[in-house]
Structure 1
């Protein structure tokens, strides 16, 4: 099993890394700052969100990702600032991103629809550690020299939102960086994200929220995450996810208090070749910290 998985991983990272390189999450709607700097400061609170994702449980070297973001409004809530970090490991490859974000929020109408334009800047670190691999030729120089590279990058995002609606467009890392220590044929691709969602308030018990996250790279397939969530009694979220390339899943969250939310998602593969594993598990914990004069009046959907 270990040899099989390592072979698959080496094939994936040896083909110029054409596929999606940014670590993905199924509960993307709880941590938009991960991919859109325009989200910074949009919740009218100091928000702290952590996400942990373990993919393809049962496979050695399977992807494992952690995310942490913090952001808040400042200067009469017209400006938002924040920071986010992400760590991702798959097989011999690991990646670490640390970005700071700033966003300017403009009120567009009396219904409190706002447009936010955000910028981010920080570092990307990618590395390969081949010490744990079992290879046919231990002396092959391709697998004897582990290395790590750290480079600066920048991002941009636009975020349009109101109480029941949001839409976003972003490129979180604008600069295409080489991550091949030898030939220079492998690059960190630019990722374009398009997202949107709407809340239908059906009655005092039930709200429905469809949402979508579309991800695109110039040399990879377009991937869409389609999610439908039901919000019960303003406390409980239950939802279903379909990802166009490879999986489906379910998710749920519970509003423990006005300022604390916990969530869980389970993904299962739709590819028959991936059925010999225990799926993907994801956990989220989020806090909205508000002052006494800014207490929450109604649930925040985004």
Structure 2
């Protein structure tokens, strides 16, 4: 059973222990907030498509990879907005894909203040595929069984928007779901717990052409420590963004985003893991971001 312990330990290391989270982490969270908060699909009051590709710990075989896609568009008189969100995660022998439909409604509190309320309806397909594992026996180990499950889910969120600041509070998956975990060297089925997200930011106008946008996102799930991203972004002429993010999971990232024209934006984030001793062979993380206004 030694091989089983080693393989499951690797699975646990890459998917749970270092991140202490069960859901995806995106460095461009402020631009992709509808992945965790369905209310955000109505905030920009325009139709757009966004996508992110994140390759974590380059240099480590089968390291975590995330692809995220979202669409949002106003409906009718722009009180209602509709969106789609899609996230695919792959790490070692684990794969999970979450797809949801988002709907938000705008409540105007004052001339400068809006409250968006949103619901998310979708499901998550989770797989553990052990067929690709290399073992040292000719006989198939009965403890290495593949696992696949589809879990429907719902979520909700609130987004308070002012011309100078925003506050976001959400839980994208309110129902408990099942996945695999390591328990004393054996793969067992466990229940994912509900995640909560809080984000806030403020826009400081430094000059007619330069804005400073500090923001934070806090992730919480019962049984795991808080995880927070603190971000400061400087925007030049509303066309060029330069920022830095510190994550309390001990990583530091630099970000750049460029508006190619009125429709197309491209971004790149390079993340440095500050505790390299946790995974000595791991290099850093690359994340690419694209937004297209329809």
TM-score, length basis structure 1:
0.88
Distance 2:256 2:70 in 1: 20
* Counterpart residue number, 1:117: 117
SS in structure 1 opposite 2:140? coil
Does 1:249 pair with 2:250? Answer: no
Query: C-alpha displacement at 1:107, in angstroms?
Result: 0.8
Distance 1:8 1:63 in 2: 15
* Counterpart residue number, 2:239: 235
**Is the 1:70–1:83 contact (alpha carbons within 8 Å) kept by the matching residues of 2?**
yes
| Greater fraction strand | 2
Query: C-alpha displacement at 1:147, in angstroms?
Result: 2.4
**Is the 2:14–2:92 contact (alpha carbons within 8 Å) kept by the matching residues of 1?**
no
Where does 1:243-282 land on structure 2 (aligned, <5 Å)?
A: 243-273=247-277, 274-282=279-287
Where does 1:48-63 land on structure 2 (aligned, <5 Å)?
A: 48-63=49-64
Query: C-alpha displacement at 1:233, in angstroms?
Result: 1.9
1:225 to 225, 229, 233: 229
Quick one: structure 1 residues 235 and 183, their matched pair in 2 at CA, closer, same or farther if it must change by over 3 Å?
closer
**Is the 2:42–2:116 contact (alpha carbons within 8 Å) kept by the matching residues of 1?**
no
Distance 2:107 2:242 in 1: 32
* Counterpart residue number, 2:201: 197
SS in structure 1 opposite 2:30? helix
Distance 1:16 1:150 in 2: 24
Query: C-alpha displacement at 1:162, in angstroms?
Result: 2.1
SS in structure 2 opposite 1:133? coil
Aligned length: 285
- For residues 166-220 of structure 1, the C-alpha deviation after alignment (integer angstroms, 9 at most, x for no partner) is 1100000000112249996412221100001111011023110001010010011
**Is the 1:16–1:187 contact (alpha carbons within 8 Å) kept by the matching residues of 2?**
no
* Counterpart residue number, 2:170: 170
- For residues 102-154 of structure 1, the C-alpha deviation after alignment (integer angstroms, 9 at most, x for no partner) is 1111111122x1101100111111000112223466633232x2121112100
Does 1:24 pair with 2:25? Answer: yes
SS in structure 2 opposite 1:249? strand
SS in structure 1 opposite 2:143? helix
**Is the 1:178–1:184 contact (alpha carbons within 8 Å) kept by the matching residues of 2?**
no
Q: Which runs of 5+ in 1 are unaligned?
A: 290-302
TM-score, length basis structure 2:
0.90
* Counterpart residue number, 1:83: 84
SS in structure 2 opposite 1:139? coil
* Counterpart residue number, 1:65: 66
Query: C-alpha displacement at 1:15, in angstroms?
Result: 8.0
- For residues 208-252 of structure 1, the C-alpha deviation after alignment (integer angstroms, 9 at most, x for no partner) is 000101001001110000100111122110001100012111000
Distance 1:151 1:231 in 2: 40
Aligned CA RMSD, in angstroms, stands at 2.5
SS in structure 2 opposite 1:130? coil
Query: C-alpha displacement at 1:287, in angstroms?
Result: 1.5
**Is the 1:18–1:219 contact (alpha carbons within 8 Å) kept by the matching residues of 2?**
no
Query: C-alpha displacement at 1:8, in angstroms?
Result: 4.6
